[in-house]
Amino acid sequence: MFKFKAFKKLRFPNVFILLLIVFFSCALLICINFFTIKTLSANRAYINGESHYSKGQKDASRHLITYLYTQDPNQWKLYLEELKVPQGDGTARMTLLKVGDNEVARKALLVGRNHPEDLDDLVWLFVNFKKVSFLAKAIHEWEQGDKLIFKLFIIGQQIDAKIKHKILTVTDQQNFLHEISVISDKLTINERNFSNTLGEGTRKIKDLLVFTNVLFTLIIVCSVCLYYSIMVKRLIVSKKEIEVKNENLVLVNHELDRFVYSASHDLRSPITSLKGLIEITQSEENVCQIREYLKLMYTSLARQDQFISDIIDYSKNKRKQIIMEPVSLRELFDEAIAQLMHFENANQIAITKELLVDEIESDSLRLKIIISNLLSNAIKYADNSKQEMIISIKTYIVDGLNKIEISDNGIGIKDEFKEHIFEMYFGTNKNKGSGLGLYIVKEAVENIRGNIYMSSENNIGSKFIVTIPSANGI
């Protein structure tokens, strides 16, 4: 009856936690990938901006050298135009360092020939990651380059002043050319360091992205696999529970079929007997014989009443929920004895009680069924041939368990019947019982997680001991 409950003791991790892990892992993975791609895009924009910076500086140096030797005003204008590119980037750098994202910095980046669609990424990376090692190092190289650009601007102003005042000498030309070359060489180194630093940062970000993707992918895969494993295990457990329940249903159906067949036979048998007795009585004129027939009718009706009572107990035991409450064993015994005193020879039986335990926590309905049936059997199967018929009732505690002991000196049970007495419809004497009593007793005992033990000797007597666990054991 309780086999399938063993499976319910199995416990699995909460699948909702696994689903949350998968959800948050996916969300984090999306966020990390988004910001990583945004960072890589910004790095790409800076490297692209550096190429414009470098080209502007080199073109400005070339036009300045040409102006130095040709004194062509157009070369001066071209020099100033190209120099605006690195100067614009320099203005953006200083503005972003001082006040952060603003319109001045964005306009300066546009002067540096950065693409308008890259402005958000350029500003976002600078403002949020300017203290990160790779970007801080790149900004430092940028600052050194801006200082060299300023020197190039000063040299240009000096050259233009000498040309306009017509005091430029060949020696001046050589000195200016040397200074411009030195600045260009240093700027080339700064520009290369700037690109290399950003490239190194990009590679680190790529490695971090790969590691993060692998890590979260493993978390997601493991969570999904664990979720799948749990669901499979639950399906297996559910299948086993269903199989056990099906087995129980088969047993119950078999028991029900047997019960219906036997019940219908046992219900019809007294009716058939009564009909026959009534027909005989109608034609009988002897009063004594009629009284004998009436006695037989009463016995038949008493058997049917007992059988119906057993069926009611059977139904209650099967369907009623177990309710734990304080129960007085003394009251249950007194009530059962009072109800059974109409049995044949009941008044001639000496019933002794030694109740060391009275109030216990248990199910009163099942205890009533157990006590009533055991006492009923002890009375019905009393040995009339003995000088004194005795029923002994005891209650006591052994090892923390409540014990109910009912013994008698009745007719006892033959050895060949002992292993069958708790089976449905098994009776040693069909004239005295329905064969349901002890079966119902055993089921009632099992319902309260107790045990029942029987010892008996033919023509000597029987003893039944019921062990009832405490309320915590139910």
| 166 inside domain | yes
Range of the domain at 99: 3-231
Contact of 274 with 300, CB cutoff 8 Å: yes
Angle between helices 119-129 and 133-164 (to 10 degrees): 120
Predicted TM-score (pTM) above 0.75: no
* Side-chain-facing half-sphere of 113: CA atoms under 13 Å: 18
Contact of 139 with 130, CB cutoff 8 Å: yes
Instruction: Tell me the residue length of the chain.
Output: 474
| 202 inside domain | yes
| 236 inside domain | no
Among 469, 355, 467, 456, which residue's Cα sits nearest to residue 412?
Answer: 456
328 DSSP β-pair partners: 359
| Amino acid letter, 257 | D
Tens of pLDDT, residue by residue over 167-179, are: 989 999 999 999 9
| 313 inside domain | no
Please name the residues in contact with 439: beta carbons below 8 A apart, sequence gap of 6 or more. Answer: 422, 423, 424, 425, 426
Please name the residues in contact with 82: beta carbons below 8 A apart, sequence gap of 6 or more. Answer: 56, 57, 59, 60, 63
Total structural domains within the chain:
2
State residue 315's pLDDT score. 61
Exposed, middle or buried: residue 392 (CB in 10 Å: 0-12, 13-18, 19+)? Answer: middle
182 lies in the same domain as 330? no
45 lies in the same domain as 152? yes
224 lies in the same domain as 327? no
| 289 inside domain | no
Among 325, 293, 398, 316, which residue's Cα sits nearest to residue 356?
Answer: 398
Contact of 316 with 356, CB cutoff 8 Å: no
| 373 inside domain | yes
216 lies in the same domain as 343? no
341 lies in the same domain as 445? yes
| Amino acid letter, 107 | K
Give just the sign of the alpha carbon dihedral 40, 42, 48, 50: negative
184 lies in the same domain as 330? no
Contact of 395 with 403, CB cutoff 8 Å: yes
Residues of the chain with pLDDT under 70: 1-15, 252-270, 272-274, 277, 293, 299-320, 425-435, 471-474
181, 200, 231 — which closes off a domain?
Answer: 231
Tell me the C-alpha distance between 235 and 12, whole Å: 12
Exposed, middle or buried: residue 395 (CB in 10 Å: 0-12, 13-18, 19+)? Answer: buried
State residue 435's pLDDT score. 63
State residue 441's pLDDT score. 87
196 lies in the same domain as 57? yes
Tell me the C-alpha distance between 32 and 37, whole Å: 8
| 97 inside domain | yes
Residue identified by tokens 């409450």 is 325
214, 231, 248 — which closes off a domain?
Answer: 231
Q: What CATH number is given to the structural domain containing 459?
A: 3.30.565.10
226 lies in the same domain as 333? no
Tell me the C-alpha distance between 277 and 284, whole Å: 10
Contact of 467 with 455, CB cutoff 8 Å: no
227 lies in the same domain as 330? no
SS3 assignment for the chain: CCHHHHHHHCCCCCHHHHHHHHHHHHHHHHHHHHHHHHHHHHHHHHHHHHHHHHHHHHHHHHHHHHHHHHCCHHHHHHHHHHHHHHHHHHHHHHHHHHHCCCHHHHHHHHHCCCCHHHHHHHHHHHHHHCCCHHHHHHHHHHHHHHHHHHHHHHHHHHHHHHHHCCCCCHHHHHHHHHHHHHHHHHHHHHHHHHHHHHHHHHHHHHHHHHHHHHHHHHHHHHHHHHHHHHHHHHHHHHHHHHHHHHHHHHHHHHHHHHHHHHHHHHHHHHHHHHHHHHHHHHCCCCHHHHHHHHHHHHHHHHHHHHHHHHHHHHHHHHHCCCCCEEEEHHHHHHHHHHHHCCCCCHHHEEEEEEECCCEEEECHHHHHHHHHHHHHHHHHCCCCCCCCEEEEEEEEEECCEEEEEEEECCCCCCHHHHHHCCCCCCCCCCCCCCCCHHHHHHHHHHHCCCEEEEEEECCCEEEEEEEECCHHHC
353 DSSP β-pair partners: 393
Tell me the C-alpha distance between 82 and 77, whole Å: 9
| 310 inside domain | no
217 lies in the same domain as 348? no
191, 212, 231 — which closes off a domain?
Answer: 231
202 lies in the same domain as 338? no
